[in-house]
Structure 1
């Protein structure tokens, strides 16, 4: 991309020099046409600058997209290798060592969680591709959203901090919705996983599902570093991730919030991002 920009600048400079050169030649041959040349030259220069600006902007955008895709591939590779390595280690431990039943069940349980994590990531990539290609139809049905949120939060619950639960919930029972169950499962999963991922070790994540003024409201709050105001809308772009790619420590592919935004919009719902006090972010989805 840098080579393309260099070629573009060289061609632009060449075009400008040619314009001024031929303008001087014509003025020398026909001085009486100088005013006409000045007017036409100004229009041509304006159009050339406008065209150059948009071409430059397009090349930079393509360069940024290429960089994001490269980071996406690196992130996916890392995201795939980590759970696969953990599953392999657990199975090798079970095979090579004479473990008691409890320890075997613990290792198998951890392996199942890693498999679910891989499954979620693959489903995310497939869903994002189908959404972008406009080939996903969002088949809708009536179901209990409360049960869905409870099931997902229970599956994503982390018990590595003693007996204390990481995900705190306040979920009103029996809230029905007419929606795409699979797509909304992806929305809830992505929001909760992001909250857990960006919060500190053993930091509390809060998930709330309520009915307010005739609307169903899903709220996911974390105590992570928060999101700067100038990035609150950018985070829903495909492959976009908060912070500098070179120093970022959190895992992710940059697809989760893109899927969340697309699914929410397809259900005529709204999503807003707010600051959490004293730190962190709150994602609030409102269904009509």
Structure 2
């Protein structure tokens, strides 16, 4: 793609030089039409340059998309390979060594966590694929949103840290009419991202409450935060915060894209704000909510 852009610039420069050369020749041999030639030439050059700029932007966008997709494939490969290798090692150890029951339970528990991680990754990829199809309708039903949040945070708390890390403050018995699977994915993505981008065992605050006619769900972390110029980009497909070569956190760049798209399908909105003294707050608003 880089070589194609270089050739594109060379051809564009050559074409502009030729336009000026032909214009000079026309003026030289037909001087009485100088005004018409210059006028029409300027209009043609303006349209030509405008086309070059648009084509250049399109090529660069395609290059960025291609790079993001390559990064996504590398990330998915790593995300699949790491837990599979871990599960394989645990099972081989159980088979080859004479372990007591407590050690077996610990190894099997860790294997189950890796399998849950794989399941979560596959669910994300499948849901992202479905959401690409605009005709795909999310099946909606009434369910207890309060219990759903508790279940997700409880599972992530057990997998993340032995000390209390996720602080939950939710209004009980809130019924939501939505796609249960997709909303579970939204809650899971937001809370897991907060854990992922926070220091080890740092506090993550999860809240859900009514605000006038709206239902508000927030997830706040105390990590490094997100730069203002990246706040709008983080919801793009495959986009990940930071530099690809220096990034240490795991992920595929699909999580927040899924979150934004699912919420749009439910007529809900999401905002990202700065937390104090550090970190980010993701605020989801289900407008005109009625329990």
TM band (smaller chain):
over 0.9
Cα drift, residue 134 of structure 1: 2.1
Cα drift, residue 161 of structure 1: 4.8
TM-score (norm 2): 0.96
TM-score (norm 1): 0.97
Residue 39 of structure 2 is aligned to residue 39 of structure 1: yes
State the alpha-carbon separation in 2 of the partners of residues 226 and 70 from structure 1. 26
Q: Give the match for residue 271 of structure 1.
A: 270
SS of residue matched to 2:137: coil
Deviation >3 Å, runs of 4+: 158-162
Is the CA contact 2:113–2:159 (under 8 Å) kept in the aligned structure 1?
no
State the alpha-carbon separation in 2 of the partners of residues 117 and 210 from structure 1. 29
SS of residue matched to 2:219: strand
Q: Give the match for residue 225 of structure 1.
A: 224
Q: Give the match for residue 104 of structure 2.
A: 104
5 Å matches for 1:236-275? 236-275=235-274
User: Mean alpha-carbon deviation: is it higher for 115-124 or for 151-160?
Assistant: 151-160
What is the aligned residue count?
287
Cα drift, residue 274 of structure 1: 0.8
Cα drift, residue 251 of structure 1: 0.8
Say if 1:135 and 1:115 are closer, same or farther in 2 by CA, change over 3 A: farther
Q: Deviations over 1:15-71 (max 9, x none)?
A: 112111111111121111111111011101100110000000000000000110111
State the alpha-carbon separation in 2 of the partners of residues 114 and 170 from structure 1. 28
Cα drift, residue 136 of structure 1: 2.7
Residue 171 of structure 2 is aligned to residue 183 of structure 1: no
State the alpha-carbon separation in 2 of the partners of residues 127 and 161 from structure 1. 28
Is the CA contact 1:159–1:165 (under 8 Å) kept in the aligned structure 2?
no
Q: Deviations over 1:155-183 (max 9, x none)?
A: 11146655x22211112210001000010
Residue 88 of structure 2 is aligned to residue 124 of structure 1: no
What is the RMSD computed on CA atoms of the aligned residues?
Answer: 1.2
Cα drift, residue 207 of structure 1: 1.0
* Structure 2, unaligned runs of 5 or more: none
Is the CA contact 1:159–1:166 (under 8 Å) kept in the aligned structure 2?
no
Residue 59 of structure 2 is aligned to residue 59 of structure 1: yes
Q: Give the match for residue 90 of structure 1.
A: 90
SS of residue matched to 1:286: strand
Q: Deviations over 1:231-263 (max 9, x none)?
A: 111100001111111111111100000000001
User: Mean alpha-carbon deviation: is it higher for 33-42 or for 205-214?
Assistant: 205-214
State the alpha-carbon separation in 2 of the partners of residues 139 and 167 from structure 1. 30
